[in-house]
Structure 1
């Protein structure tokens, strides 16, 4: 656990340092402040209202103990195990097996699962998946994602508007060629760090979910099933809004080319291997 949190801390520090370096090189203090305020305003809005926007985007339908007794009961029991308030529970009418959590804090959380994942998995496996999502809620990963997105967005803003602030490059001792290079590479570097943070949080949610459910093997089995089917069954909403892909338990995008450094999710094989190792430690 400490390893993943330490990695997240280092990555967060890295993106802050990158922001400072890019801001100083391209915009100076003024440009850096403008970009940060602009990005922060957008992400504060997203932090407070993104849960409703995403749920509406996926046409998620809220359910209760009467409309979805089995699924609702699973979430309720796991939330109790995790010491969390009962989140709102949603079902998305999509064939692709997937699930996500959203909400700015545990008191305003929501979890959602597709009909595909509910129909495909056994109850034991579904418990593993929803425990993973509740681990995201307990770890406040939405907050971490918002902070990293704010800084990454500010870096991109500085790069995009770099020419507006580049009049003083000579005075600051920055060559125009260096400015152009920074404008190209900085957003890529910020994106890579942001994705690495996302992958680190997925590992930690796997670990936390295994502890909440008490069954790492169930989550491992679920991940293998989801991975095998998710890329064969398209999810149109995710394709139209790829920025939501990082929320899902498995990458919902059908494109196979974005792998490794450019993936918001760790390799499923590595996730499964870590869960099985954890299961041996628990047994």
Structure 2
């Protein structure tokens, strides 16, 4: 818990610094001040409201014991096994099989699963997936993943906005050098991606381990990961494509891109995750 609070503080500091550098390059001292004020407001908003924003991005609908009795009861049993408060439960109407958890702490947490994942997985496999998501909540790293998703999107938007600072009149001394603006447009989103990578891959291994312990069935999660990756390649998830900064929240990367994007993977290789889960099962 202390480690994750340190990571969160470090993440917010890094984000504030990145916003400050962008502001300084775009607008000098005045730009720096504006950027720092914006970063402070962004950090405050992201801490309290980013989870709600992500759920809205995916048009997630909340369900309960009446509207989705089997799924809701499954989450309730797993939350009890994990010693967690009951999270809010959401379903996303998307064909791609995937799931994620969000929320600033276990008392304000939510889990979400697509209709696709509920269709292609067996009940045993789905339990493994939801146990994985509850492990994210138990480890208190949902705040970090949601913060990075929200702020990475803001950084990318600001970087794209940099192009508007290049057009000032010829006698406008405050207009930004086009080369500087282009560099910001290229490297600011890259920096945001690197921040995501730095905290995402290790989280997935730990959530796999924790999820296997919560469900008591590491082989079910291993089977689910293999099946999700296989099926996910055949479906586009438009909210993820429109908001790629949220991809690292999912149990499997939902984006359709390949090639050079593989250099910036936010998820470990599924084969390595499966191998670790198999080893856990053999050691039981």
- Please give the TM-score of this superposition, normalised by the length of structure 2: 0.76
- Size of the alignment, in residue pairs? 273
- Taking a change above 3 Å as real, the CA distance of residues 33 and 124 of structure 1, as seen in their structure-2 partners, is farther
Aligned 8 A contact 1:160 1:183 in 2? no
Long gaps (5+) in structure 2: 167-172
Aligned 8 A contact 2:106 2:137 in 1? yes
How big is the shift at 1:83?
A: 1.0
Residue 194 of structure 2 is aligned to residue 193 of structure 1: yes
In 2: Cα distance, 1:94 partner to 1:20 partner: 34
How big is the shift at 1:258?
A: 5.2
- Taking a change above 3 Å as real, the CA distance of residues 114 and 183 of structure 1, as seen in their structure-2 partners, is closer
In 2: Cα distance, 1:30 partner to 1:140 partner: 37
How big is the shift at 1:128?
A: 0.7
Aligned 8 A contact 1:39 1:153 in 2? no
In 2: Cα distance, 1:74 partner to 1:190 partner: 39
In 2: Cα distance, 1:236 partner to 1:159 partner: 21
Residue matched to 1:115: 115
How big is the shift at 1:152?
A: 9.7
Aligned 8 A contact 1:38 1:154 in 2? no
Greater relative CO (CA pairs within 8 A, separation 6+): 1
- Taking a change above 3 Å as real, the CA distance of residues 64 and 218 of structure 1, as seen in their structure-2 partners, is same
Residue matched to 2:93: 93
Residue matched to 2:144: 144
Computed over aligned residues only, the root mean square deviation of the Cα atoms, in angstroms, reads 4.0
SS at match of 1:90: strand
Aligned 8 A contact 1:152 1:190 in 2? no
How big is the shift at 1:61?
A: 2.2
SS at match of 2:67: coil
SS at match of 1:112: strand
Query: Which residue of the other structure, out of 215, 227, 233, is the alignment partner of 1:225?
Result: 227
In 1: Cα distance, 2:190 partner to 2:41 partner: 22
Residue 127 of structure 2 is aligned to residue 127 of structure 1: yes
